[in-house]
Structure 1
């Protein structure tokens, strides 16, 4: 295999891996946000915020439970495990970096909200660091 083909294969592999974790990242981030905002994350609220049916949200929550990211008890709210909280924090931080970067480029907030949802899952740590530097250089030092 040529070097070019190996680089392309690595890029496709990274994209597939990002797709595999996208949903989990989005759901744990939202569960964390709902817990912060309302003190609990209910399945009905999760489904409404994600724009899916309750049975669909329930299936995804089951997968998150199997992955050890979420806990719940019958007729009770959803809770993040320690691992789920860590994933939510990483996902939220990536989201903020991408959003801040796009805003610094002058993109309107509505477009930023849409684009950052997808981009946050596919940006390398190297690119995130460059985005952070760009925003910091543009906005000056923060306190």
Structure 2
């Protein structure tokens, strides 16, 4: 390795760390979108109180997260009603739900108990690249008779 190679070598870990930080920042948004989608399916709307209870956070924390979803164009709220996902927010929630299911199915297929797979998938689903996710899906498809 020459001194000229050093910046390239240094950039690789930096890029990986940047990607991980970006995924972490989006993970919270994705979790809230998914939870709001679940609540809407179950109850017809998602109230801040219900969101906070399901996420295990305080009312102000849930309010702040919903505010971010609204700023990103992923959710809207109506006076004296709950929070609703926009078309874009609903699509995000569905993508996250599908990623979660794929990660769980893969982990179970390689021998991880279902309960552990569900817990592990909560973190992994946000950090698995599209390439890795496609490999998981191909693995699962190859196992299906």
Alignment of 1:9-88 (within 5 A): 9-88=14-93
1:52-88 per-position Cα deviation (integer Å, ceiling 9, x unaligned): 1112111111111111111011220110011111111
Give structure 1 regions of 4+ aligned residues with deviation exceeding 6 angstroms: none
**1:126 corresponding residue in structure 2:** 131
Residue 6 of structure 1: how far off its partner (Å): 2.5
State the TM-score, normalized to the length of structure 1.
0.92
Q: Which runs of 5+ in 2 are unaligned?
A: 1-5
1:11-46 per-position Cα deviation (integer Å, ceiling 9, x unaligned): 111101101111110000111111112222111111
Residue 108 of structure 1: how far off its partner (Å): 1.0
1:80-100 per-position Cα deviation (integer Å, ceiling 9, x unaligned): 011111111111111111111
State the TM-score, normalized to the length of structure 2.
0.91
Q: How many residues align?
A: 140
Instruction: Name which one, 1 or 2, has greater alpha-carbon Rg.
Output: 2
Q: Which runs of 5+ in 1 are unaligned?
A: none
Supply the distance in 1 between the matched residues of 2:69 and 2:20 (Cα, whole angstroms).
21
Residue 3 of structure 1: how far off its partner (Å): 3.9
Structural RMSD (CA):
1.2
**2:140 corresponding residue in structure 1:** 135
1:98-128 per-position Cα deviation (integer Å, ceiling 9, x unaligned): 1110111111111111110000000100000
